[in-house]
Amino acid sequence: MSVEVETPAAVARDPKRPDPRPLPLVFERSGEGKVGYSLPPLDVPDAIAIPEALRRAEIAGETQISEVDVARHFTRLSQRNFSIDQGLYPLGSCTMKHNPRTNEEMARLPGFAAAHPLAPEALSQGTLELAWLLERALSELTGLPRVTLQPSAGAQGELAGILLVRKALEKTGRPRKTVLIPDSAHGTNPASAHFAGYTVKELKSNPRGTIDLDVLEKAMTDDVAALMLTVPNTLGIFEDKILDIARIVHAKGGYLYCDGANFNAFVGVAKPGLMGIDVMHMNLHKTFSTPHGGGGPGSGPVAVTHSLVPYLPRPTVERRADGTFFLDYDRPESIGRLRTFLGNYGMFVRALSYIAAYGNRIGEVARGAVLNANYIRAGLSGVYHLKYDGPSMHEVVFSDKKQSELGVSNVDIAKRLMDYGFHPPTMSFPLIVHGALMIEPTETEGKPVLDAFIRAMKDIARECEESPDLVRGAPHTTPVKRVDEVGAARNLVLRWRP
Amino acid sequence: MKFLPTSDGERREMLAAIGARSIDDLFASVPAEVRRDPDLPPPMSEIEIRRFIGGLAKKNVNARDTAFFLGAGVYHHYVSAIADQMLYRAEWLTAYTPYQPEISQGTLQSIFEFQTHVCLLTGLEVANASLYEGASALVEALLMAERLSRGRTKAVLSAAIHPEYRETARTYFSNLGLELVEVPLGADGTTDARALAAAVDEKTFAVAVQSPNFYGVVEDWAAGSAAAKAKGALSVAVIAEAASLALLKPPGEGGADIACGEAQALGVPMHNGGPLLGFLSCRSEHQRQIPGRLVGETRDAEGRRAFCLTLSTREQHIRREKATSNICTNQGLMALASNIHMSLLGKEGLREVARQCHAKAEYLKGEIAKLRGYRLPYAGPTFNEFLVEAPEDAVGLLARLATRGILGGVPLSRFDPSDRRRFLVAVTEMNERVEMDRLVAALAGRDA
């Protein structure tokens, strides 16, 4: 295979398309005798006090490479990624918004990045205070009294939330058996409920895509621990009967869990605590703009109502009367821990910086996000099918119904969008919309970008009619053409071999 | 607001196109009773944010300004400037999960390289794209072993696995009808091999041992593997200080079926305990039960080498409650940092770092052993961290050292309040001999 090691001055190729040759693996750039590090000379006697039987030989296959080669390798690799800073990334339910760079610098201050989680309390007052302030801010925004920052990401937050419910119910003598989850929910909800020891019962949505109160009333027995509800749901529709839903769940002694993945739709405008929500996870990497980083690190704080506070994960951050802060490990009723230390602390720094930038005007985030989604909806209605036409909040879910009649699928449309310079929407869910195109523009896109996106989607719809092969063969301008994902799963190659 | 690019005029045009009079109209489905403006301070400018957050940062002592010997799961290693600089590139920082391989080859190839590094270091055949951190990596490894066992219900854990890893495992296992049994330490600080073998039975799906263990002592993977194999269980190797993998026998060579733990030591700053970098690797026969994301090599439509996420049928967006795990994200950016770090150090550098850590720790251990009143409770070999028993309460002692700019160790009372006098001391390539001599002098009560 021809892999690009150095870019020759002139390569005959399509100027609109990036150099299509694969980049070598970092291991393939390696060469005997090259060095990419420097260390001070050892200033103590060189000793190895570990028996030979417990030691290893050299790490066969590991790299030998200079820093220059590493710099170019990772720079060139990066150029084969699409990112928010390049353009609209309307991946539904992922809230791909602008990531302010001040926050990056704040998280890298030595007082945070070079702090150790087990340093003495007296020397960690700043880290503790920041965690405490973030908890206070999230508590204010959710209208719920306490928040644990420990979960590493949304899915771990879900698990923590359901474990809290389970623990509270165990106190009453019976943890119950079932968790109700609407058929529109993200797949992590049932997986998390399962790992908390519950059986999942799916709730069928009504024709408007929201909870059917009759269906809920029937399903909500005294064997149901909780209803896990995404608000707004994955169709981008707000459950306008949220207060009735909470009443029905509470009447049977159950808990109302809110998947806060879509908090961007109402942050600073409405409070989950006022909706009757008992427990809710948030995604700092969505609503609060901590970078997605190619798939993490995330952070999934969980806010809870009073009755769940005793069971919060250990430790909690507390403030003494004298204004000093401490970690409280003495929480005998706690569910325990979800992970080591306090959580993804670096994300706390970024999120608090972000919240500080908006302050009491943070509702403008939600207002902007909802305006943008509705603008896209207005621009594309009639062009793409809208199965559920309830009022949209921060995202809108179209489908490929019209285009599939022409033999073009949502995947083809998504791939064609890449040629227009946009990231595709989400397609893998909600499962109740076949051929979904779930579009979440976020508030950090302006009208010209949205107009360009609407134009591109209209152009593609026309291409589906006039030249469907052009769409089915897309993308045409990306570093690699359509990738054989089926082949990857059939013939697994998961690593390079020396 | 500077993050909101829409002008008032554009907003009016957009509302007109939507057919709404105001943005408030668009919130009609949100009941009035639940709407409320937040009681937060006014917005801050960038300058004010720097004052506010910077002020909090200054209240913490950090490793760069002290003689620093804290470890216990998070280690102060050097990370080359280029690794962090690279993370600032928007193409890495502001991308998401590479669901669309045609425009994500950078992230995908980097993960493929990370997976390869993990395989080479652990001596196993397959690694995933990373997990949250060490404790949840152990949980995922145990759950994986449980699935592979088809019906077994018990895991046997060394009591020398990091206490927060064990506590995490208890949290996860509490509602799944699975039993966790802990095996105590022998006199030399390694897991009691006889007790380990005795604890494993036909119900056991996994035997997990950490090395270097929580007390710093190097374990022989073979003991755990033999105990597991005798009863048909899987052997799980736990690593909390991954720099050790360049010097110590890799889990794969020691008969482990799954290796898991924390790779923060390989290129990730301490971050006050997060984000860290969990990892998991295994033998290829078990690859279809591996949790989390995986990147595989494939071809594009024109036959070029390309990469994509693979085996997603294990994952929750398809399998829902039957998924191998509920985890959805990995630690993408930290896996990238670690890939860059490991690539730079490479075969020689990884070993050199490990050797320096070990030699320096041996020096410090030797000097502390000479001090009157101090004892090294465990005689087993150590890598870069070791346990010390002080002649007095360790918290008070370490607090006195801290006032002199020495963070001398992690007191075990933090994990077990009855363990008053013992503390863990960690040494890395960052520690100079003069700092170690200052620590020794301070422990001895001499002015340093």
- Please state, in angstroms and rounded to a whole number, the distance separating the CA atoms of residues B283 and A71: 32
Residue B31: inside a domain: no
User: What is the structure's pLDDT at A101?
Assistant: 96
Beta strands in B329-392 (DSSP E): 385-389
Nearest residue in A to B110, CA atom:
A77
Nearest residue in B to A265, CA atom:
B27
Q: A–B: how many Cβ contacts below 8 A?
A: 708
Q: How many CA atoms lie within 13 A of B199 on its CB side?
A: 24
- Please state, in angstroms and rounded to a whole number, the distance separating the CA atoms of residues B305 and A263: 39
Q: A52, exposed or middle or buried, with CB in 10 Å at 0-12, 13-18, 19+?
A: exposed
- pLDDT category, A7, cuts 50, 70, 90? very low
Q: DSSP characters for B118-166?
A: HHHHHT-SEE-S-BS-HHHHHHHHHHHHHHHHTS--EEEEETTS-HHHH
User: What is the structure's pLDDT at A17?
Assistant: 63
User: What is the structure's pLDDT at B328?
Assistant: 75
Contact A362 B360 (CB under 8 A): no
How far apart, in Å, are the Cα atoms of B292 and each of A113, A338, A399, B105? 26, 17, 29, 19
- Please state, in angstroms and rounded to a whole number, the distance separating the CA atoms of residues B448 and B443: 10
Instruction: Pull the structure tokens for residue A343.
Output: 């959580």
Residues of B in contact with A375 (CB under 8 A): 14, 17-18
Residue B6: inside a domain: no
Residue linked to tokens 């829409």: B6
User: What is the structure's pLDDT at A9?
Assistant: 41
pLDDT at residue A428 tops 90:
no
Residues of chain A with CATH 3.40.640.10: 115-361
Does the beta carbon of A352 lie under 8 angstroms from any beta carbon of chain B?
yes
Confidence (pTM): 0.97
**What range does the domain containing B336 cover?**
82-340
Residue among B407, B372, B418, B377 at smallest CA distance from B391? B372
Q: What is the dihedral of CA B97, B102, B105, B106, to 10 degrees?
A: -70
Length of chain A, in residues: 498
Average pLDDT over residues A115-134: 97
- In A, residues 274-293, which contact B (CB 8 Å cutoff)? 274-275, 285, 291-293
Instruction: Answer for the pair B350, B339: CB distance below 8 angstroms, yes or no.
Output: no
Residue among B380, B378, B362 at smallest CA distance from A42? B362
Partner residue opposite B323 with nearest CB, options A191, A346, A475 = A191
User: What is the structure's pLDDT at B321?
Assistant: 78
Contact A340 B297 (CB under 8 A): no
- pLDDT category, A5, cuts 50, 70, 90? low
Residue linked to tokens 């998401």: B96
User: What is the structure's pLDDT at A4?
Assistant: 52
Residues of B in contact with A349 (CB under 8 A): 53
Residue B334: inside a domain: yes
Residue B4: inside a domain: no
pLDDT at residue A246 tops 60:
yes
Residues of chain A with CATH 3.90.1150.10: 364-478
- Please state, in angstroms and rounded to a whole number, the distance separating the CA atoms of residues A288 and A136: 15
- pLDDT category, A1, cuts 50, 70, 90? very low
Percent of chain A with pLDDT over 70: 96
Cis preceding-peptide flag for A190 (omega within 30 of 0): no
**B125 and B193 fall within a common domain:** yes
Q: How many CA atoms lie within 13 A of B317 on its CB side?
A: 14
**B313 and B167 fall within a common domain:** yes
The pLDDT tens digits for A462-478 are 999 999 999 999 999 99
Q: B372, exposed or middle or buried, with CB in 10 Å at 0-12, 13-18, 19+?
A: exposed
Contact A123 B402 (CB under 8 A): yes
Does the beta carbon of A17 lie under 8 angstroms from any beta carbon of chain B?
no
* Interface pTM, i.e. ipTM: 0.97
3-state secondary structure of B191: strand
How far apart, in Å, are the Cα atoms of B103 and each of A413, A439, B100? 15, 18, 6
Instruction: Answer for the pair A360, B39: CB distance below 8 angstroms, yes or no.
Output: yes
**B145 and B284 fall within a common domain:** yes
Instruction: Pull the structure tokens for residue B160.
Output: 């020398």
**B164 and B313 fall within a common domain:** yes
3-state secondary structure of A168: helix
- Please state, in angstroms and rounded to a whole number, the distance separating the CA atoms of residues A241 and B109: 46
User: What is the structure's pLDDT at B130?
Assistant: 97
Residue partners of A108: CB distance under 8 A and separation at least 6? B84
Instruction: Answer for the pair A119, B71: CB distance below 8 angstroms, yes or no.
Output: no
User: What is the structure's pLDDT at B437?
Assistant: 98
**B320 and B404 fall within a common domain:** no
- In A, residues 465-484, which contact B (CB 8 Å cutoff)? 473, 475, 478-484
Partner residue opposite A82 with nearest CB, options B40, B95, B336 = B95
Please give, rounded to a whole number of angstroms, the shortest distance from the CA of B78 to a CA of chain A.
9
- Please state, in angstroms and rounded to a whole number, the distance separating the CA atoms of residues B344 and A374: 48
Q: What is the pLDDT along chain B (448 residues), one digit of tens a residue?
A: 899 999 999 999 999 999 999 999 999 999 999 999 999 999 999 999 999 999 999 999 888 889 999 999 999 999 999 999 999 999 999 999 999 999 999 999 999 999 999 999 999 999 999 999 999 999 999 999 999 998 999 999 999 999 999 999 999 998 899 999 999 999 999 999 999 999 999 999 999 999 999 999 999 999 999 999 999 999 999 999 999 999 999 999 999 999 999 999 999 999 999 999 999 999 999 999 999 999 999 999 999 999 999 998 777 777 777 777 888 778 999 999 999 999 999 999 999 999 999 999 999 999 999 999 999 999 999 999 999 999 999 999 999 999 999 999 999 999 999 999 999 999 999 999 999 999 999 999 986 5
The pLDDT tens digits for A195-226 are 999 999 999 999 999 999 999 999 999 999 99
Residue B19: inside a domain: no
Contact A59 B320 (CB under 8 A): no
Cis preceding-peptide flag for A479 (omega within 30 of 0): no
The pLDDT tens digits for A272-289 are 999 999 999 999 999 999
User: What is the structure's pLDDT at A11?
Assistant: 44
Structural domain ending residue among the three candidates B295, B318, B340: B340
Structural domain ending residue among the three candidates B309, B340, B371: B340
Residue partners of A444: CB distance under 8 A and separation at least 6? A97, A98, A368, B3, B4, B5
Q: Which residues of A147-161 are buried (b: 16+ CB within 10 A; e: fewer)?
A: bbbbbbbbbbbbbbb
Residue among A140, A99, A147, A482 at smallest CA distance from A286? A99
Backbone phi, then psi, for A426, in 5-degree steps? -75, 140
Q: DSSP characters for A116-138?
A: -TTS-GGGBHHHHHHHHHHHHHH
**B90 and B163 fall within a common domain:** yes
Q: DSSP characters for A31-99?
A: -TT------PPP-S-----S-GGGB----TT-----HHHHHHHHHHHHTTB--GGGS---BTTT-----
Residue partners of A235: CB distance under 8 A and separation at least 6? A184, A209, A388, A390, A397, A430, A432, A433
3-state secondary structure of A436: strand
Instruction: Answer for the pair B342, A58: CB distance below 8 angstroms, yes or no.
Output: no
Q: Does domain A364-478 have CATH number 3.40.250.10?
A: no
Please give, rounded to a whole number of angstroms, the shortest distance from the CA of A221 to a CA of chain B.
21
Residue partners of B359: CB distance under 8 A and separation at least 6? A42, A44, A45, A46, A47, A48
User: What is the structure's pLDDT at A12?
Assistant: 44
Does the beta carbon of A149 lie under 8 angstroms from any beta carbon of chain B?
no
Instruction: Answer for the pair B413, B394: CB distance below 8 angstroms, yes or no.
Output: yes
Q: A341, exposed or middle or buried, with CB in 10 Å at 0-12, 13-18, 19+?
A: buried
Partner residue opposite A391 with nearest CB, options B28, B54, B321 = B28
- In A, residues 307-326, which contact B (CB 8 Å cutoff)? 313-314
Contact A117 B272 (CB under 8 A): yes
**B428 and B392 fall within a common domain:** yes
Contact A336 B171 (CB under 8 A): yes
**B179 and B68 fall within a common domain:** no
Better-predicted residue by pLDDT, B321 or A342: A342
Contact B247 A56 (CB under 8 A): yes
Among A26, A46, A95, A352, the residue to mutate for chain B (most B Cβ within 10 A): A26
- Please state, in angstroms and rounded to a whole number, the distance separating the CA atoms of residues B251 and A349: 36
Residue B90: inside a domain: yes
Partner residue opposite A140 with nearest CB, options B39, B89, B97 = B39
Tell me, what CATH number does B109's domain have? 3.40.640.10
What is the assigned CATH class of domain A115-361?
alpha beta
Among A340, A349, A358, the residue to mutate for chain B (most B Cβ within 10 A): A340
According to DSSP, the residues that pair with B93 across neighbouring strands are none
**How many domains would you assign to chain B?**
2
How many angstroms separate the first and last alpha carbons of chain B?
53
Tell me, what CATH number does B386's domain have? 3.90.1150.10
**B277 and B207 fall within a common domain:** yes
- Please state, in angstroms and rounded to a whole number, the distance separating the CA atoms of residues B304 and A481: 9
Among A1, A118, A285, the residue to mutate for chain B (most B Cβ within 10 A): A118
Largest CA-CA distance found in chain A, in angstroms, rounded: 77
Backbone phi, then psi, for A224, in 5-degree steps? -95, 125
The pLDDT tens digits for A295-330 are 999 999 999 999 999 999 999 999 999 999 999 999
Among B26, B96, B315, the residue to mutate for chain A (most A Cβ within 10 A): B96
Instruction: Answer for the pair B30, B370: CB distance below 8 angstroms, yes or no.
Output: no
Q: A10, exposed or middle or buried, with CB in 10 Å at 0-12, 13-18, 19+?
A: exposed
A 10 A CB-CB count for B159 gives 17
The pLDDT tens digits for A225-242 are 999 999 999 999 999 999
Partner residue opposite A344 with nearest CB, options B20, B96, B275 = B275
Structural domain ending residue among the three candidates B287, B309, B340: B340
A 10 A CB-CB count for A309 gives 17
3-state secondary structure of A248: helix
Contact B296 A444 (CB under 8 A): no
Contact B329 A155 (CB under 8 A): yes
Does the beta carbon of A391 lie under 8 angstroms from any beta carbon of chain B?
yes
Residues of A in contact with B190 (CB under 8 A): none
Contact B343 A49 (CB under 8 A): no
Beta strands in A315-411 (DSSP E): 316-319, 325-328, 396-399
Please give, rounded to a whole number of angstroms, the shortest distance from the CA of B213 to a CA of chain A.
14
Q: What is the dihedral of CA B242, B244, B247, B251, to 10 degrees?
A: -60
Q: DSSP characters for B101-117?
A: GGGBHHHHHHHHHHHHH
Instruction: Pull the structure tokens for residue B33.
Output: 């009773």
Instruction: Answer for the pair A173, A221: CB distance below 8 angstroms, yes or no.
Output: no
Residues of B in contact with A361 (CB under 8 A): 1, 42-43
Instruction: Answer for the pair B156, B204: CB distance below 8 angstroms, yes or no.
Output: yes
**B230 and B287 fall within a common domain:** yes
Does the beta carbon of A205 lie under 8 angstroms from any beta carbon of chain B?
no
How many angstroms separate the first and last alpha carbons of chain A?
16
Please give, rounded to a whole number of angstroms, the shortest distance from the CA of B235 to a CA of chain A.
17
User: What is the structure's pLDDT at B247?
Assistant: 98
Residue B54: inside a domain: no
Among A44, A65, A102, the residue to mutate for chain B (most B Cβ within 10 A): A44
Please give, rounded to a whole number of angstroms, the shortest distance from the CA of B299 to a CA of chain A.
6
**B222 and B291 fall within a common domain:** yes
- Please state, in angstroms and rounded to a whole number, the distance separating the CA atoms of residues A229 and B48: 38
**B201 and B242 fall within a common domain:** yes
Residue B27: inside a domain: no
Contact A415 B90 (CB under 8 A): no
